[in-house]
Amino acid sequence: MAAPPNANLDLATRQALAARMRFYRDLGLTELYRRPVDPVLLKNLLQSAVSKPEVEVLHEAQTVIPIPVEHDLDSYNLEETAIPPRKPIAGQPEIAPPVAPAARAAALHAIREDIGDCTRCALHTGRNKIVFADGSPDARLLFVGEGPGADEDAQGLPFVGKAGQLLNNMIGAMGLKREEVYICNVVKCRPPGNRTPELEEANTCSPFLFRQIDVVRPEVIVALGATAATYLLGQRQPLAGLRGRVHAYRGSKLIVTYHPAFLLRDPRQKKEAWADLQIAMRELGLTAPAKSQD
Ligand code: SF4
């Protein structure tokens, strides 16, 4: 079997490629395809870029093939790679009957009990702790992220690393405390290397998320990033097409914004994220607290 085209890249190049892929994913570009590049065009491009350590070939706006200039072109497989058909995002169960506020904590506990020491998907092999949720069962506002990272996996709580600190700041800017909201993820176990959950993993784990949402029944849900938006809304769309408006979702209002980890990588987008949170605040009837004069 032929080696994948990037198998011969050095570690630094592969890490740079992975970082670029995460950046595109955060922008909502979740489907990237590798297509053949015209060898003549490629050689011309490489010759025109001999002073650069690496050349990125952008093809049809969705293809990224980083190629070190010192690499022998003949070792690249430039044949067309068959593009597998898109697998469907799993359908969602009907909305469960409302749970009385006094019974919500017990209902959430029951969901956690059902998860147990879960081995339903491949993510169980690399996890340290299952990360179920954090926050109030009576929250009016519920945040959904993608999956646990290293800090979350170690502590068993969602959003406790640097991205979590930024989320806490965002919650504070809305005039709320972290304990007043509910925070959970599409998958409960850390994907290795913080990669995006595979479709099968997200489809397997997300029924627990839907049950959590149905118990808490928040007025507003904020989907943090493209993965959360994709599996909540059941559709693959760039983030740009989903942000800036209110979606009806399982009896709640859903707003889509950037994942805090993306905002740490590209702080210029914080203004856009704040605009999204202001939509959530408007729906909740919240006003931002006055800034301290200190
Ligand atoms: S990610 Fe979800 S379905 Fe997969 S093992 Fe963890 S708890 Fe189970």
Count of H-run helices and E-run strands, the chain: 10, 8
Mean per-residue pLDDT, 190-211: 96
Percent above pLDDT 70 for the chain: 74
- Total Cβ atoms within 10 A of residue 55: 16
Structure tokens at 265: 């990588």
pLDDT at residue number 272 = 96
pLDDT at residue number 207 = 97
Structure tokens at 46: 């490489």
pLDDT in tens, 25-77: 666 565 555 655 666 666 666 665 554 444 343 333 333 444 344 344 344 44
pTM of the entire predicted model:
0.76
The distance of Cα 20 from the centroid of its chain, to the nearest Å, equals 15
Question: With 80 as the cut, is the pLDDT of residue 22 above it?
Answer: no
Q: How far is CA 170 from CA 164, 258, 280, 288, in A?
A: 10, 12, 12, 11
* Protein residue with its CA nearest to atom 5 in ligand 1: 124
Q: Enumerate residues lining ligand 1, CB below 6 A.
A: 115, 118-121, 123-124, 130, 187-189, 201, 204-205
* Protein residue with its CA nearest to atom 4 in ligand 1: 121
CA of 191 to the centre of ligand 1 (A): 10
CA of 204 to the centre of ligand 1 (A): 7
pLDDT at residue number 47 = 65
Residues whose CB is less than 8 angstroms from the CB of residue 29 and which lie 6 or more positions away in sequence, other chains included: 62, 226, 238
Lowest mean per-residue pLDDT among 50-59, 130-139, 188-197, 253-262 = 50-59
| Ligand 1 pocket: which of 120, 127, 231 to mutate (most atoms within 8 A of CB) | 120
* Protein residue with its CA nearest to atom 2 in ligand 1: 205
CA of 219 to the centre of ligand 1 (A): 27
> 100, exposed or middle or buried, with CB in 10 Å at 0-12, 13-18, 19+?
exposed
CA of 127 to the centre of ligand 1 (A): 9
The distance of Cα 43 from the centroid of its chain, to the nearest Å, equals 36
CA of 235 to the centre of ligand 1 (A): 21
| Ligand 1 pocket: which of 189, 194, 203, 231 to mutate (most atoms within 8 A of CB) | 189
- Domain extent listing, the chain: 11-75, 101-284
Strands 134-135 and 182-185: antiparallel
Closest-CA residue to 212 (of 153, 117, 137, 280):
137
CA of 143 to the centre of ligand 1 (A): 19
Rg (CA), the chain: 21
Amino acid type, 19: A
Bridge partners (DSSP) listed for residue 252: 249
> Would you tell me which CATH number, out of the four given (3.40.640.10, 3.30.559.10, 3.40.470.10, 3.40.50.300), belongs to the domain 101-284?
3.40.470.10
CA of 189 to the centre of ligand 1 (A): 6
CA distance 195 to 21: 10
CA distance 185 to 144: 5
